[in-house]
Structures are given as C-alpha cells and as structure tokens.
C-alpha cells in the first residue's frame, strides 16, 4: 500500500511539473502584462507535434526540442501582435480571443495531423529502481528539466535588472516606461518566453504520452488550476501548485474512485480559494 501511494506521489509530481510549466506561462503573462493567455495549451500542442514530426523523420530528440520551442514562440509572437496585445487588462476579452485561437489551432492541427492519437518512439528506455518503485528514466529527466527551468526563471526575475523592470511594468506600466523600461519590448519578450516554455512543455510531453489535437485544452485547464492554487503572480507557486495538484490527483485516485480523478484537484482548489483567496504562495 505504501509502495502504491509512494509511486503515485512520484508520478503525480512528474505530471504536476507539466502542469507547472503551463502555470508558469499563465502566471508570467497575466502577472506581468495583464494578458490572459488561455490558449497556452495550444502552443504546447504545437511544440509536441513539431517534436513528434521531426523525431519521426530521424532528427535526434534533444535537437528536435529546439525548433519545437522556436516554432511555438513564433506562433506566440504572431498571436500577440495580431490579437493578445489588444486584450491587456481585459480578462474576458483575453479569454474569448483565446477560445477563438484554441478553435483555430486545434482544427489546423487536425487538418495537418488528423485526429488520431499518435505516439513517439521511446526516447530514453529503461527505469531506475528505488527500493521497490520503478521510475522510468525519461520521466525523471522531464521532471528535472522542468524544475530547472522554473527555478532559473525565478532566479532570473528575482535577481536581475530584467526582473525588476518586469515587476515595475506589472505595477505601473507608465511609470516603468518613464524609468527607461522599453515596455513594448518587455511585453513581447514575456509573450515569446511563455509560449516558448509551453512549446518546451509540449516537447517533453511528447516523449512520455500520446498526442492528439485536443490535448491543449485539458492541459491549460490544469495549468490554470495550478497557477491559481499556487497564487497568480508567484513563480515558484506555479511549480508547487502544479506538483500539489498532480500529487492530489494521483493519491486521490488510490483511495477514492479513479473516475473522479479531476474532481479531487478541483475540490482542493475550491477549498484553498475559499480559505486563502490569493492562493497558497500569493501575497496581498
């Protein structure tokens, strides 16, 4: 029993880290630029499919990840220039533009790759054994990469001039501009980075699970839950939020019916929102 629970905790943490990378993108875009990018899951989908296509054509997996991030970021750049920049500080409009984009990206990928789920060949077969629990090596790699990325992002924003500029921009865009922050460039950078991250998330996802065009919608919801659980605006909160969400879902389905997997996370989210409306790690 302990072994089963422990296995689910580890598995949940790994899946949770995937939620966390989307949550990071949501938190960054919303916290800094005031734009709600609910279509982040679609950039993840793009990253996943690009990786899959390139890897199946013979490109080594670690190399294929790079164009996946770049293409996702390019799509993010275009979406920002064409649509998202007009939805600043307007939550409902951002949400609706995202819904429109989800619809467009999802159908485009259905045209390109059909709706049948596809699976990539194993990138890194084998598993490490810790006691009685087997951990697939690839899952550990994915987890490590995500944790490194999130911590690096946190450090970059907490320790550098760029981070201070971003926080200044988040608090008062006009004052930040007067202090010499190039705000349009900053906004573009945040958008590029968050969508590129989503692309990376997708590339990592492709190495573990099967892909389908509708995958983005599910993940963005989980990412949103994780971001709110951790507290919108808190970078490390997005990682913790994701991991907590993943672990709750995993452990919950050991003790309670698996069919209600998604409900366990939601129930905890609602409880936490009622007790601490700003999330676990959010200030205010």
Is residue 235 a contact partner of residue 97, using CB atoms and an 8 Å limit? no
Residues 6+ apart with CB under 8 A from 11: 139, 246, 250
- 73 contributes a contact to other proteins by CB under 8 A: no
What mask of x and - would describe binding to other proteins in positions 101 to 120, judged by CB under 8 A? xxxx-xxx-xx---------
Nearer to other proteins, 25 or 67 (CB): 25
**Contact between 178 and other proteins per CB under 8 A:** no
Neighbouring residues of 241: CB distance < 8 A, sequence distance ≥ 6:
19, 20, 23, 225, 226, 227, 228, 229, 230, 231, 279, 280, 281
Comparing CB distances to other proteins, the nearer of 103 and 172 is 103
CA 192 to CA 254: how far, in whole Å? 39
Please report, as residue ranges, which positions from 244 to 273 form the binding site for other proteins (by CB under 8 A): 257, 259-260, 262-263, 266-267, 269-270, 273
Q: According to CB under 8 A, which one of 86, 128, 137, 158 is a site residue for other proteins?
A: 86
Q: Choose the binding region for other proteins from 60-68, 98-106, 130-138, 240-248 (rule: CB under 8 A).
A: 98-106
Residues from 196 through 225 that contact other proteins (CB under 8 A)? 217, 221, 224-225
Residue number, 24 or 97, with CB nearest to other proteins: 97
Q: Does 28 bind other proteins (CB under 8 A)?
A: no
Binding residues vs other proteins (CB under 8 A): 83, 86-87, 91-93, 95-97, 99-104, 106-108, 110-111, 217, 221, 224-225, 228, 257, 259-260, 262-263, 266-267, 269-270, 273-274, 277
């Amino acid at each position: 029993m302990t072994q089963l629970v422990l296995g689910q905790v580890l598995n949940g943490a790994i899946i949770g880290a995937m939620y966390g990378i989307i949550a990071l993108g949501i938190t960054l875009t919303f916290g800094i630029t005031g734009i709600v990018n609910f279509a982040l899951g679609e950039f993840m989908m793009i990253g996943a499919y690009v990786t899959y296509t390139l890897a199946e054509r013979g490109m080594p997996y670690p190399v294929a990840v790079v164009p996946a991030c770049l293409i996702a970021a390019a799509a993010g750049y275009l979406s920002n220039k064409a649509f998202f920049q007009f939805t600043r500080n307007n939550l409902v409009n951002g949400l609706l533009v995202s819904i429109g984009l989800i619809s467009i990206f999802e159908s485009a990928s259905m045209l390109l790759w059909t709706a049948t789920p596809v699976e990539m060949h194993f990138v890194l077969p084998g598993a490490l054994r810790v006691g009685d629990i087997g951990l697939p090596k690839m899952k550990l790699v994915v987890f490590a990469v995500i944790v490194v990325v999130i911590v690096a992002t946190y450090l970059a924003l907490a320790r550098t001039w760029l981070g201070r500029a971003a926080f200044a921009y988040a608090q008062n865009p006009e004052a930040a501009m007067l202090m010499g922050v190039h705000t349009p460039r900053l906004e573009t950078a945040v958008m590029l980075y968050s969508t590129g991250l989503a692309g990376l998330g997708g590339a990592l996802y492709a190495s573990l699970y099967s892909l389908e065009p509708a995958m983005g919608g599910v993940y963005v919801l989980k990412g949103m839950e994780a971001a709110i659980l951790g507290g919108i605006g808190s970078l490390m909160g997005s990682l913790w939020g994701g991991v907590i969400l993943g672990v709750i879902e995993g452990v919950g389905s050991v003790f309670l019916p698996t069919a209600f997997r998604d409900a366990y996370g939601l129930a905890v989210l609602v409880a936490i929102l009622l007790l601490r409306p700003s999330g676990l790690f959010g200030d205010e």
